[in-house]
Structure 1
């Protein structure tokens, strides 16, 4: 990995930019969680509504965003989306100062659209300066930065929130986004093909969207991901909302202790991102087994009301999640044509997040009716079944390749 970073300074600058971007996102996410819980009096339903507002745009606009991500220049899209996210943070500061949950919900919804464009353009942007034979290494390094920020982002964000408050914490988020923008701006790439694509009219959006979906369905790698993502997304939606209530309701700990569990998850993800790239498995198996192990870890979080038992299950969860992420990112950048990167990625994300949104929207009510333990356990079973289905479809559609 060190040799790859030394030999590819453009990826190194982009990689550093992902650290600052992830850091800003973590501060924003923790501030949002704490402020919504504070303003709503700890309401699971209010928290569920806010999470719905953050993820619903992926389901509603994902396919369209994919079209424009394929049309537009990747670097320009990432830079513009970063500027948009900065502006949303300024508005969010105002909403927090006004102590308005409605405004917070609205800003969460709108800012998620900027994040969509930012993420949709990233894989193809990386392909512009990372050769195909190095893309698994690039994916592993990307997972390493995400895992490290998962380890340190939550406690740092929690400390900032407690020491300087929500508004000043979001000011730091803006500064980190500015640093990310400067670093991406410094990465020089040639995008002559995308400049021509950007001249297409609005009339062709629907046709290009259908073409992207058709390509994804007929791609023997993408089709299993599309189908299995239905089950995986539903399980993921439950844990997205209920993780805080595993801490408070199931374990009986103060909400600030969620930061400790997130740190443990970060340790598990960081270690997994270092170890898993050395495992000789096909990327298809990384994906399917990753889903299964993630589901087992999720169910294990509520198997026994002990901090240590939940922490161990989080490490198992992290192992599966990293395997899934590395496998999927590598498959996307090696088995999907460059001109379909945005649409194919958004097709998978839209399916995952569509069912994730449905689960998140109902998670608060399910938690109040059934309690957190059976709901999370059911989510783990559903997620693991998604992995089994994915493995069966891979076996049917193609022979795994190392």
Structure 2
């Protein structure tokens, strides 16, 4: 039986992929329904629209490490099922309030769901560690990431079509149903393992501190965390500036930015598939180094280029390599963290990346104003190269180990 066949016959894989499908449908329908609804209600008020992002991303900083700690304390299957059920309940509560006439509660739907995902996501990572053989972890992450990349293309279309045809009430109702279907799919996961309780019980705070100590005492995870932070700086700086590449660098109408993003999304879908194919032959650390190095080159080209064809080509290849970076990092976290610490390690790493992204997203406008668009993109490229330099010792160490094995 081939590795792909045995992987897809894994009961955990089947349940988690079906759950992910329902979850992505619900999230994208909710996101775009809320976005379009708020824009209509506020006459496109930028502050109100920005609150949507705050409701979606703020819980990552507050609850990620807490959620990771509880993922290590609680039974992961039960945690994921209840998170989806509670998300559905919160969505239906918002629906009831909408019917009664208070539209502002749509922010509550985003906030509660985002908080619960900080408990569910590390639990999912923990289950990957438990139920997927180490040799198939990279394949699993590749398949999971490809699904997310695909929804980055079709998700906005689905969300817009549903809202345009049925309105906010039906969109929110469908979202709640999707969350319930995700919970039902998760019910088919293998039962949680019964773990013998230690005689000496530890508190949440003690376990949280243990998580930080574990990462700091693990050289591989510390280097990976530094790389994660720098990658967040690089991507956060250029994320808000894509519109200016279109309008200022390429001298095109602002509406063209949607095609700019579609090219990137198509690259991500294909990149996820390529990462899946290469997962048997290319180690995660090499994939990460190659992905960041080539991404640095593409970001630099986008910053310099005034030619539409060259810019779109670089944008495509930049998207092509993003899954390699994300898949490699997730795979290495799973391979190098003990099962009892997976949730906390994931909870520590995620705010490093997101925090760096948000810092640079907030600074991007100022840097562009003082340094210019081209220079901002070159700074992002340099950050990516610094990220490669940080993990270079790990790449060389693995190369040396491979040479020793080859000579034995």
User: For 1:265 and 1:221, how far apart are their aligned partners in 2?
Assistant: 31
Q: TM-score, normalised by structure 1?
A: 0.83
Q: Deviations over 1:297-338 (max 9, x none)?
A: 455555556765554333222222111122112212222111
Check the 8 A contact 1:23/1:176 in 2, yes or no. yes
Q: Deviations over 1:42-76 (max 9, x none)?
A: 56555445423422222223222211110000001
Cα 1:19–1:188 change in 2 (3 A) is same
- How far apart are 1:358 and its partner, in Å? 2.7
Task: Specify the structure having the higher radius of gyration (Cα).
Answer: 2
Q: TM-score, normalised by structure 2?
A: 0.82
SS in 2 for 1:128: helix
- How far apart are 1:154 and its partner, in Å? 2.0
Cα 1:74–1:50 change in 2 (3 A) is same
Stretch moving more, 113-122 or 300-309: 300-309
Match of 1:220 in 2: 219
User: For 1:351 and 1:288, how far apart are their aligned partners in 2?
Assistant: 19
Q: Deviations over 1:186-241 (max 9, x none)?
A: 22224212x747x986x622221121111112223211121122222233334555
Match of 1:267 in 2: 266
Match of 1:83 in 2: 85
Stretch moving more, 135-144 or 309-318: 309-318
Whether 2:398 is the aligned partner of 1:391: answer no
User: For 2:42 and 2:389, how far apart are their aligned partners in 1?
Assistant: 39
Match of 1:67 in 2: 69
User: For 1:150 and 1:200, how far apart are their aligned partners in 2?
Assistant: 46
User: For 2:400 and 2:117, how far apart are their aligned partners in 1?
Assistant: 33
Cα 1:276–1:188 change in 2 (3 A) is closer
User: For 2:175 and 2:308, how far apart are their aligned partners in 1?
Assistant: 31
Check the 8 A contact 2:149/2:269 in 1, yes or no. yes
Match of 1:207 in 2: 206
SS in 2 for 1:192: coil
> How is 1:1-400 mapped onto 2 (pairs within 5 angstroms)?
2-39=4-41, 41-42=43-44, 47-90=49-92, 93=95, 94=97, 98-100=102-104, 103-105=105-107, 107-193=109-195, 196=197, 204-239=203-238, 241=240, 252-253=252-253, 260-279=259-278, 280-298=281-299, 300-301=301-302, 303-304=304-305, 308-362=309-363, 366=366, 373=373, 377=377, 380-381=380-381, 383-395=383-395
Structure 1: give runs of 5+ residues left out of the alignment: none
Cα 1:316–1:400 change in 2 (3 A) is farther
Check the 8 A contact 2:141/2:327 in 1, yes or no. yes
Check the 8 A contact 1:62/1:346 in 2, yes or no. yes
Stretch moving more, 392-401 or 211-220: 392-401
User: For 1:259 and 1:222, how far apart are their aligned partners in 2?
Assistant: 37
Check the 8 A contact 1:124/1:341 in 2, yes or no. yes
User: For 1:27 and 1:370, how far apart are their aligned partners in 2?
Assistant: 38
- How far apart are 1:268 and its partner, in Å? 1.3
- How far apart are 1:401 and its partner, in Å? 6.3
- How far apart are 1:165 and its partner, in Å? 2.9
Structure 2: give runs of 5+ residues left out of the alignment: 403-408
User: For 1:299 and 1:167, how far apart are their aligned partners in 2?
Assistant: 44
User: For 2:65 and 2:172, how far apart are their aligned partners in 1?
Assistant: 30
Aligned residues: 395
User: For 2:32 and 2:400, how far apart are their aligned partners in 1?
Assistant: 40
Stretch moving more, 315-324 or 382-391: 382-391
